[in-house]
Amino acid sequence: MTAYVTTNPATGKTERTFPELDDAAVSDVLGRVTDAYPGWRATPAADRAQILVRVAEAYEARSDELAALIATEMGKPVKEAAGEVALAASIYRWYAEHGPDLLTRETLDPQGAQESVVQTEPIGPLVGVMPWNFPYYQVARFVAPNLLVGNTIVLKHAPICAASAEVMDEIFHTAGVPDDVYVNVYATNEQIADMIADPRIQGISLTGSERAGASVAETAGRNLKKAVLELGGSDAFIVLDDADVARTAKVAARARLMNGGQACNSPKRMIVPTDKVEEFVSVLVSTFEATEHGDPTDSGTRLGPLSSVAARDGVAEQVRRAVEQGATLHTGGEVPDGDGAFLRPAVLTGVTKDMDAYSEEIFGPVAVVYGVDSVDEAVTLANDVSYGLSGSVWSGDIERAQEIADRLEVGMAYVNEHGTTLPGLPFGGVKRSGFGRELGRWGMGEFVNTRLRRTA
C-alpha cells in the first residue's frame, strides 16, 4: 500500500497528496451506501439509465481535460488517453441503452404451475478495487452495469490515480448519482479487507495483480462474498505460416506498445514459425526503435513513461534477468538518461522454460518472440502459462485460424485482431487471469439476484 500521492511519471514531480480514509470513517461509509441502497434500487431503471447517459456526455465534453489528467498521473499519451475516455463513455451509454431490457422480467415455462418468472435484481452495496493502467475504463466496466442494476458502490482506486478518482466521483454526482450511492474512498488495503468482511457489503470486484486478487478473494471467501477478479495475462499472438509476416509484426509491435505495454491483455508472447522469426524480429526491432518516447501530454507522443519509476525498474530488472539466464536481447531494455519512468522497448528471443521470463507476466514494453515448428507446438506453448486471459491467431485461412483459436485456454480468443474491447462483448479470463466477466450482458449478471417467483 502506497500513500494517495500523485506523481507525474514523466518528470518525477509530485503533483498532489490526498487525505486518506480514517479508520473511524469506514463504518460510516458502509452505513451510507447501505442506507442509500433501498432508494436507489427503487429508482426506475430508466432514470438510472438517464444518469448514465449524462455521465457519458460529461466524459465526452471533458475528454481533453480527462485525458490530460491521466497523462500526468500514470503516463498514458494523451491521444491514447482520449481513446480511453471515449471507450469509457461508450460503456456508460451501452448500459444506459441495453441495461433496462436486461432487467425485465422473464416468464419461464410454468412446468405444472400457474406461473414461473425470473427477475434480475440488485444485491446491495459492493466494493470495487481498481488499478492505474486504465483509470477510467476499468472503473466504467464495474460502475456502469452495477449502478444501472441498482447496486451501490464503494470505490477504491489505485493511489497513483487519486486525482482521476476524484474527477470521476464529481462526474457521477453531477450527473445525478446520489452522494451515498457512489462513494470514492482513499482507503488502505486493511480497510478494504474490513469492508469486505462487513455484513453490509455483498460483493467485491478487483482488477489488478494476482497478489491483490488472491488477498481480496481470500477475505471474500472467508466471509462468503461473491468476488469478480480480472487479473494478469501473458497473451499469445500466434502467427501462422501463411500470414504476411511484415504486416503482422508491425501490428504486433504497435499492440505491444499501447499503454506502454501495461495492459493485462497486451500481446506479450509472439509465437512465429521458426523460419519467419528473423523477419518478424527485424520488423519488431525497427518499429520499436522508431518509436520515440516523450512527454505524454504532447499529442504527438506515441510512447510515454511507465506508470512509476518502481514499475519501470521492475520491468527493466525482468529484462536484465532474462538476459542473465540466457535469452537474447535484440533491442531496448535500457533506461534512458534524464528524469521520468521511461524504458526503451525491448525484444527478447531464446527464452526457454527454465527462465523466469517464460512464465512471468512482463507489464511493460517488452516483446518475447518464440519460434515453433508446428501448429501443435504453437498451441502447447500458448497454453503453457498460468494465465488465460486472451490470445490471437493470425492467418489468411480464417477457418484454420478459428480452429486454432478454439484450442487456446483463454476467456477471449481473436482471429486477425488482438484485444478488441467493446461494451457489448464479454471481458475476462480463466486460470490465474481471474474469474467472472465484465462488460455486455455478462457484466450485468455478476452482482445480481436472479430471483425466481413461482405460483402453484
Q: Which residues are catalytic?
A: 230, 264
Select the residue interacting with ligand NDP from 171, 192, 319, 410 (CB under 6 A).
192
Q: Which positions ≥6 away from 60 have C-beta within 8 Å?
A: 85, 86, 89
- Give which of 361, 257, 364, 234 is closest to 308, Cα–Cα: 364
Q: How many residues bind ligand NDP (CB under 6 A)?
A: 25
Q: Which is nearer to ligand NDP, 134 or 394 (CB)?
A: 134
> Closer to ligand NDP at the Cβ: 26 or 216?
216
Q: Which amino acid is at 177?
A: V
Closest to ligand NDP by CB, 45 vs 217, is 217
Beta pairing class for 366-372 and 346-349? parallel
Binding mask 241-270 for ligand NDP (x = CB under 6 A): -----------------------x------
439 burial type by CB count under 10 A (0-12 exposed, 13-18 middle, 19+ buried): buried
CB-wise, 280 or 414, nearer to ligand NDP?
A: 414
**Residue 227's closest CA among 148, 123, 344, 104?**
123
Q: What is the DSSP letter of 110?
A: -
DSSP 307-369: S-HHHHHHHHHHHHHHHHTTPEEEE--PPPSSSSS----EEEE---TTSHHHHS---SSEEEE
Kindly report the CA angle at 38 between 36 and 44, in degrees rounded to 5? 105
207 binds ligand NDP (CB under 6 A): yes
CB of residue 105 vs ligand NDP: minimum separation in angstroms?
35
108 bridge partner residues: 116
Instruction: Print the binding letters for residues 349-378 with ligand NDP: x by CB under 6 A, - otherwise.
Output: ------------x-x---------------
DSSP β-bridge partners for residue 387: 431
**Segment contacting ligand NDP by CB under 6 A, of 156-164, 236-244, 270-278, 371-379:** 156-164
Q: Shortest Cβ distance from residue 14 to ligand NDP (Å)?
A: 16
Q: Tell me the CA distances in angstroms from 66 to 63, 72, 129, 341, one per residue in order.
A: 5, 10, 20, 21
Name which position in 128, 131, 388, 440 contacts ligand NDP (CB under 6 A).
131
Q: Is there binding between residue 120 and ligand NDP (CB under 6 A)?
A: no
Give Cβ neighbours of residue 109 (< 8 Å, ≥ 6 apart): 116
Tell me if 341 contacts ligand NDP by CB under 6 A: no
Does 1 bind ligand NDP (CB under 6 A)? Our answer is yes
C-alpha cell at 341: 519512468
Binding segment for ligand NDP (CB under 6 A), chosen from 123-131, 290-298, 396-404, 441-449, is 123-131
Please give the Cα distance from 440 to 418 (Å, whole number).
Answer: 18
Kindly state whether residue 197 participates in binding ligand NDP, applying the rule CB under 6 A: no
Least Å distance, CB 176 to ligand NDP, is: 26
Please state, in angstroms and rounded to a whole number, the distance separating the CA atoms of residues 4 and 55: 25
| 9 in contact with ligand NDP (CB under 6 A) | no
CA–CA dist 20, 41 (Å, integer): 29
Kind of pairing, strands 328-331 and 346-349?
antiparallel
Name the one range near ligand NDP by CB under 6 A: 177-185, 225-233, 336-344, 375-383.
225-233
Point out which span in 129-137, 174-182, 331-339, 395-403 binds ligand NDP (CB under 6 A). Answer: 129-137
Please, what is the minimum distance in Å from the beta carbon of residue 433 to ligand NDP?
A: 8
The answer to whether 163 contacts ligand NDP (rule: CB under 6 A) is no
Among 116, 119, 209, 402, binds ligand NDP (CB under 6 A): 209
Q: Which stretch binds ligand NDP (CB under 6 A): 54-62, 210-218, 248-256, 419-427?
A: 210-218
Binding flag, residue 158, ligand NDP (CB under 6 A): yes
Question: DSSP assignment of 268-309, as one string?
Answer: EEEEEEGGGHHHHHHHHHHHHHH--B--TTSTT-SB---S-H
Among 122, 125, 159, 296, binds ligand NDP (CB under 6 A): 159
The string over 10-21, giving b where at least 16 C-beta atoms fall within 10 Å of a residue's C-beta and e elsewhere, is: beeeeeeeeebb
| Binding status of residue 2 toward ligand NDP by CB under 6 A | yes
**Does residue 189 interact with ligand NDP by CB under 6 A?**
yes
- When the beta carbons of 230 and 446 are compared against ligand NDP, the nearer one is 230
Query: Distance (Å, rounded) from C-alpha 129 to C-alpha 185?
Result: 10
Choice between 133 and 349, CB closer to ligand NDP: 133
Answer for which of 87, 216, 220, 239 binds ligand NDP (CB under 6 A) is 216
Q: What DSSP assignment string belongs to 208-262?
A: S-HHHHHHHHHHHHHTT-EEEEE----EEEEEPTTS-HHHHHHHHHHHHHGGGG-
Beta carbon of residue 364, minimum distance to ligand NDP (angstroms, whole number): 8
Residues in touch with ligand NDP (CB under 6 A): 1-2, 129-133, 156, 158-159, 189, 192, 206-209, 212, 215-216, 230-232, 264, 361, 363
